[in-house]
Homo-oligomer: A and B are copies of this chain.
Amino acid sequence: MPSHAGPAHPADPSITEHRTADATLTVTVDGSPLAGQEVVVAQRGHKFLFGCIGFDFIPLANGELSAEEQAGPGGVTGSLGEASAAQAEHLAELWFDVFNFATLPFYWGRFETVRGRPDTERLRKTARWFADRGVPVKGHPLAWHTVTADWLMDLPNAEIAREQAARIRREVGGFAGLVDMWDVINEVVIMPIFDKYDNGITRVCREIGRIPMVRMVFDAAREANPNATLLLNDFDMSAAYECLIEGVLEAGIKIDALGLQSHMHQGYWGEERTLATIDRFARYGLPIHFTETTLVSGHIMPADIEDLNDYQIPEWPSTPEGEARQADEIVRHYKTLLSHPSVEAMTYWGMSDGGWLGAPGGFVRLDGTRKPSYDALHSLVKGEWWLPPTTMATDDQGRVRFNGFLGEYEVTAAGRTAAFRLDAPGEAAAAVAL
C-alpha cells in the first residue's frame, strides 16, 4: 500500500482485489528488452468513473462569463451563472483534478421550454468542452415526469408518446460520438402514480404502463445510437425497483447499466446498508452506476420528510462539524462502492454548495474554498488509489512489476514515453515498445 494511504477501512482488501492489477510490464526499445534500466511509470487515468455533474460549467464552456470578478455583498458571489470566468476556471481546475466523468442536464422542460427550440448548441459546446479535456459525458435524463416540458400537456397521450420518442432520437442521435451514455428514463417506479402535479409523462405512463414506457424510450435511444450505454435510473431502492427491473428484463428490453440514486440529505446510509443495496441490484448481472450521490456538510434533513423536495428552508449552512462528518462519510462511501465489483461509476451531485434544495452538499463552499471532503476525495483518487511517477528498475528481461489501480498509464525511459492500460484486476501482463 502506498505510503500516503489514509486510515484502514474494512473495504480496503476488496478494493485491492477488484480495482487493482498486479502488473508485469515488459519494456522494449527497438525490439529488444530494456534490461536493467530505470524507467518511470505513472498513472494517467482511472478506469473507474469518478463522476460529477457538470451543469455549473455550461456558462464557462459557452463563453458567457465576464472576465472580471463580480463580487456580491460581503465579497460573496452568487450562483455560478453570475460568477466571473476566473472563478469558474478555478472551480473547473478543482473539478478536473478529481473527476473523469461528467453528467450534463437534458431535462426536457429546460432543454426545450418552447416546443421546437431545443438548447442543443449550448449543450453541445459544453459536452465538447469536457471531451476536449478527456472527460466522457452522460446525458440526464431523456424521460422523466419531473421538469418535463409543460407544452406536452396540450397534446393527446399518443402524441406525447410520439414527441417523447422523437426527442430521444433527436438528442441521442444528434449527440452520438460526443455523448454516448444516457440516463434514458428516470424514476419509473413512481412515474404512473406521481400525483404532485399533472404532467404529460405521467399521463402516458399511466395509460400504457411502466414496461411499455421503458420499452418505448429504450427502443428510441437504441435506434438512434446503437453504441450508447443506456441506463435505467431510480431513487427507489426498495423491492419496487427490483420488481420493475425484473419485469423490464423479462420483457426482453436490454439495459446496459442500472442507475441507483443515493441523495443522502437525511444521513449517510452506512457501509452495511450500502453493500446490501448493491448486492440486491447486482443480482441482475448488470453494471451498477451510482448516478446521483449527495452527502451534506450541514445539518441532516429530518427523517420524516418523505419527498426530499418538500424540504425548502431559507438557508442551509455548511458547518465545521458537518464538514468533518462529510469528509469522513465521503471516504467511507467511495471505499464501500469501490469494494463491490459490480459498481462501475459514481457520480456526485454537485461540486459546489447551494445546488439542489440549497443543500451544503458540495465539495466546495459558496465562497469557492475547498471543504475537507474535497481533500479527502482527492487523497483517494489521486493519492491512495493512484500511482504517481515512480522510478523502477527493469530486470534482465526488461520487466518491472507493480500493483496499480485499473486505468491508463505511461512509462518513460531514455526520453521516450509509451502508454498502456490495466483493464482487469488480478495478474496482468502489459508490454510497451518505447
* Chain A residues close to B by CB (< 8 Å): 189-190, 192-193, 206, 209-212, 236, 238-244, 246-248, 250-251, 280, 283
Asked, given contacts A193-B280, A251-B250, A251-B251, whether A239 binds B240 with beta carbons under 8 Å apart, the answer is: yes
Taking the nearest CB of chain B, how far is it from the CB of A294, in angstroms? 23
Instruction: Please tell me if the beta carbons of A242 and B211 are within 8 angstroms of each other in the complex.
Output: no
Beyond known contacts A238-B238, A247-B251: 16 more, CB 8 A cutoff: A189-B239, A193-B239, A193-B280, A206-B283, A209-B250, A210-B246, A211-B246, A211-B250, A239-B240, A240-B240, A240-B242, A243-B243, A244-B246, A247-B248, A250-B250, A251-B251
27 A-B contacts (beta carbon < 8 Å): A189-B239, A190-B239, A192-B242, A193-B239, A193-B242, A193-B280, A206-B283, A210-B242, A210-B243, A210-B246, A211-B247, A211-B250, A212-B250, A236-B239, A238-B238, A238-B240, A240-B240, A240-B242, A240-B243, A243-B243, A243-B244, A243-B247, A244-B247, A246-B247, A247-B250, A247-B251, A250-B250
CB-nearest residue of chain B relative to A248? B247
How far apart are the CA atoms of A250 and B216 in the complex, in Å? 14
| CB neighbours of A212 from chain B (8 A) | 250
Contact pick for A243, options B189, B280, B283, CB 8 Å: B189
Contact pick for A247, options B192, B236, B238, B247, CB 8 Å: B247
| CB neighbours of A280 from chain B (8 A) | 193
Taking the nearest CB of chain B, how far is it from the CB of A180, in angstroms? 29
How far apart are the CA atoms of A238 and B206 in the complex, in Å? 16
How far apart are the CA atoms of A211 and B252 in the complex, in Å? 13
How far apart are the CA atoms of A206 and B236 in the complex, in Å? 20
| CB neighbours of A210 from chain B (8 A) | 242-243, 246
List of 5 A-B pairs having minimum Cβ-Cβ separation, nearest first: A247-B247, A240-B240, A243-B243, A243-B244, A211-B250
| CB neighbours of A192 from chain B (8 A) | 242
Taking the nearest CB of chain B, how far is it from the CB of A187, in angstroms? 11
How far apart are the CA atoms of A211 and B245 in the complex, in Å? 11
Taking the nearest CB of chain B, how far is it from the CB of A341, in angstroms? 19
CB-nearest residue of chain B relative to A210? B246
How far apart are the CA atoms of A210 and B192 in the complex, in Å? 22
Taking the nearest CB of chain B, how far is it from the CB of A104, in angstroms? 29
| CB neighbours of A241 from chain B (8 A) | 243
How far apart are the CA atoms of A243 and B213 in the complex, in Å? 13
| CB neighbours of A209 from chain B (8 A) | 246, 250
| CB neighbours of A251 from chain B (8 A) | 247, 250-251
| CB neighbours of A190 from chain B (8 A) | 239
Taking the nearest CB of chain B, how far is it from the CB of A102, in angstroms? 31
Chain B CB count within 10 A is highest, among A190, A240, A248, for: A240
CB-nearest residue of chain B relative to A207? B283
How far apart are the CA atoms of A76 and B170 in the complex, in Å? 76
Taking the nearest CB of chain B, how far is it from the CB of A123, in angstroms? 32
| CB neighbours of A242 from chain B (8 A) | 192-193, 210, 240
| CB neighbours of A246 from chain B (8 A) | 209-211, 244, 247
Chain B CB count within 10 A is highest, among A189, A242, A243, A247, for: A243
How far apart are the CA atoms of A250 and B252 in the complex, in Å? 10
How far apart are the CA atoms of A240 and B211 in the complex, in Å? 13
| CB neighbours of A193 from chain B (8 A) | 239, 242, 280
